Structure 1
Amino acid sequence: MSTASRSSFVFSQRHVTLAIVAGALVLSAAMGVRQTFGLFINPFSFDRGLPVTLIAFAIALHNLVWGFTQPFAGAAADRYGAAPVVAFGGATYAAGLALTAFAPAGWVMVLGLGVFVGVGISCTTFGVVLTAVSRAVSEERRSMAMGLVSAGGSLGQVLMIPLAQTIRESSGVSASLLALALVLLAVAPLGIVLDRQRAVAPTAHDPAMSLADTLGQARRHRGYRLLTIGFFTCGFQLAFIATHLPGYLLLCHMPAGLGATALALIGLFNMAGSWGCGWLGGRFRQQHVLGWLYLIRSAAIGAFFVLPKTTASVTIFAAVMGLTWLGTVPLTSGLVAKVFGTRHLGTLFGVCFMSHQVGSFLGAWLGGFVFDVTGSYSLIWEATVVAGVAAALLHFPIDDTSVSMPLRVAAPGEA
């Protein structure tokens, strides 16, 4: 290798590393802050007199807004780059938290926590960040790189939950939410680093198709439809657990701080799980890894629900859930990239992720609704198990063959 080629390689590797670190930090802040919302349900209910159903609806609404705005955020990042999208998202996310901190009425909390946070998080998470990172690496290293970013992003869940809990207990809910808003403003400029590797040459599996043609091809692709439907389950399971696990443990007469500890443990083990899923996705067919992941997750949920609740059982449950928590994301986005290429990955993953967020909305909201109606979370726990088995069965038969640009039929008179 010549000196010039070696220098170019080292420069490229440095920027790939910077892109991975920047992506992990943005994800860490955005996802870590989001995972704290379950800690505010009881304080909002007891201190501000708001019904659990309304608070759960606000948290659920941000998932729905996130899902429906994700394709647009992904399309904007595909066209303009990650920098302006991440900056806008960080500012909007922080504004939503600040609005919630001083909300004088329930509808203001719904606007801040539901709408503003939903728009902000769509611009600072997977559809934008993983897409930018995927363009910075080769196809062979893509699954591993996205797994590393997702694993690094889990650090936020480990750090943000204790931070939010500590500030809430010492200074109140408003101060805790404002501190989280400052964290998001701090990472907003990191989209600039993600754009350093934006310009990459299309590969043989990344044809120069228009967005409309790509969306039409995806709509007709059976595997993409199965992947999109199955992703609904991931959102349903995770949003229910993240939102309602602390309250459920209190109903089971467990220590008051155990819910926050369990969520933090999920984030800690998710670091290993996301990396591991990325590693497995680079060596085995990603849809098969996804199928087994859903089966393992559902088995863990079912066992936790039927077995006696102890500190040990909660710890084991949190560890297993963490290992399977966000590993679906690098596998799903990697599978979309493998089939359709990276040119319109932000948009295609955004459409797929919309299904995930519809599931998240129902998981968070139905948890509160069913509890208010029945006084128990049992029906939702059972539903998460059934949905996980169904998702596994949908993923195993997915065809991951890369699509190619359709040949244009020559018009009469053309050579």
Structure 2
Amino acid sequence: MSQPRTRAAMWVILLAAAGTFALSMGVRQTMGLFLSPLNTSTGLGLASISLAFAFGQLWWGITQPFAGIVADRIGAGRVLLAGALMVAVGTFITPYMTSTAGLLLAIGILGAGGAGMAGPAVLMAAATRLIPPGRQGIATGIVNAGGSTGQFLLAPLAAALMVGIGWVGAMQAMALLVLLCLPAAWVLRGHSQHPQHPGAAAAPPRLGTREAIVQALRDPGYRLLAAGFFVCGFHVAFLATHLPGVVEACGLPTQWAGWALSLLGFFNIVGSVAMGWAVGRWRMKSLLSLVYATRGIAVLLFLLAPKTGPVVLLFSAVMGVTFLSTVPPTAGLVAKFFGPANMATLFGIVMLTHQVGGFLGAWLGGAVFQATGRYDWVWYADIVLAAGAALIHLPIREARPVRAAPATA
């Protein structure tokens, strides 16, 4: 594929990557709406069905480094094609699964695994390779915002379809909707051995996958980056899973939980795009420290404030701005440190640490509430982890961004 040389070509690439993330993530994030109908239909119990959902969270993270390795070797297009088909098939057959093992296969392995293959590791790497260097920050922000946009738009669509055609028809309609991203696989085809954008700096000699991973794991900055992303996963999964429970524990009506989740998704879009813009202007490690510090302060103020509806909505908006705004600078630092040659692989490993943190955040939130009847100890852990993440990014060695000189006539 010829490299993009026009603004129009750049936007085609961004729309392909962001659109793929919107559909794969959006459909995956709507699955929670079907938990109760699945329980009623199968009679398996919420614990067994939740196991499939929890496994999917972890499998989504495990899939990404391996998808990245394949994308770096044979091309992003083929990986995205396979991932989209897996999401569609897994989602389509879920209503026919009547056992825990069947749900693990459909929701966990096929659905979540396909979403991991068509997820941020592969998409960010493709965008980084194809977009001019000066535009890569805003590009990763736009791609990242695609996932939030998908959740924001597809959740109400799925709910409306459930009312109109039933939960089985709604789920299978979501499966077919994923197929709309198949043309993006052609737009994003190619791999890291293909020539980069003409404006890109000369890349270092390509290392084999094993050598690249060993080199990255020996790099203190990479290890600190992965540790920070673990904290991000803890925060994000706890909020995504337990924010409705937090609202209920505050004694507020159910509709406040819906509004809180909506604001969380909307301001996630705002935060992702804003962070993409900021990446090219300030050091990415400083931006990451700022995001984590903001989270910790927001949680502390929320604990101290009266638990009214407006307070909950303001808290959701602030947390939404920081929700996944860590992704553009994290992906940007991986690309900056190691170049595009093994970008999908190395960012996939960092994404895996994110999902390990996410598994713990979702699980501990429920365990702590069951044991104490409150979420307070998880909030305390949130504050400590946020402070730690804000501090551990500071030693990362990163040069200040070079500002482009203004064009002369």
TM-score of the superposition, structure 2-length normalised?
0.88
1:167 aligns with 2:156: no
1:286 paired residue among 284, 287, 302: 284
- The question of whether the paired residues in 1 share the 8 Å contact of 2:74 and 2:190 is answered with no
Q: Deviations over 1:157-195 (max 9, x none)?
A: 210121223333454443332232222122133111122
**Partner of residue 81, structure 1:** 75
Query: What per-residue deviation string (whole Å, max 9, x for no partner) do you get for residues 137-159 of structure 1?
Result: 23222112111222244221210
Distance 1:9 1:80, change over 3 A: closer
Distance 1:244 1:99, change over 3 A: farther
2:300 matches 1:302? yes
Amino acid in structure 1 at the alignment position of 2:121: G
> Which of 306, 313, 316 lines up with 2:314 in the alignment?
316
Count of residues in Structure 1 that have an aligned counterpart in Structure 2:
395
> CA, structure 1 residues 238+9, in 2 after alignment: closer, same or farther (shift >3 Å)?
closer
CA contact (8 A) 1:29 1:156 kept: yes
Post-superposition shift, 1:288?
Answer: 0.9
Judged with a 3 Å threshold, the aligned counterparts in structure 2 of structure 1 residues 396 and 274 are, in CA distance, closer, same or farther, namely same
Calculate percent identity across the aligned residue pairs. 41
**Deviation at residue 107 of structure 1 after TM alignment:** 3.5
The one-letter code sitting in structure 2 at the alignment partner of 1:179 is A
- AA of the residue aligned to 2:83: G
Match of 2:110?
Answer: 116
Q: Which runs of 5+ in 1 are unaligned?
A: 1-7, 403-415
Deviations 1:268-313 (A, max 9, x none): 1122211111111111110110011011122223333443333322
Runs of 4+ aligned residues of structure 1 deviating over 6 Å after TM superposition are none
Compute the RMSD of aligned alpha carbons: 2.6
Q: What displacement does 1:62 show?
A: 1.3
Matched with 1:332 is: 330
Corresponding residue of 1:277: 275
Deviations 1:316-346 (A, max 9, x none): 1221122111111111010000011011100
Q: Does the 8 A contact of 2:124 with 2:143 survive in 1?
A: yes
Which whole-Å CA distance do the structure 2 matches of 1:43 and 1:380 have between them?
30
Residues 91-106 of structure 1: matches in 2 within 5 Å? 91-106=85-100
Report the Cα distance in structure 1 between the residues aligned to 2:301 and 2:30, rounded to whole angstroms. 25
Contact 1:86/1:189 (<8 A) preserved: no
Residue in 1 aligned with 2:233? 235
- Please give the TM-score of this superposition, normalised by the length of structure 1: 0.86
Q: Structure 1 residues 110 and 262, CA, compared in 2 at 3 Å: closer, same or farther?
A: farther
Contact 1:33 1:160 in 2 (8 A): yes
Is residue 2:216 matched to residue 1:200?
no
2:405 counterpart residue number:
none
Letter in 2 for 1:162: P
- Structure 2 residue corresponding to 1:32, chosen from 26, 34, 59: 26
- The match for 1:249 is 247
Consecutive unaligned residues of structure 2, counting only runs of 5 or more, are 401-409
- Matched with 2:361 is 363
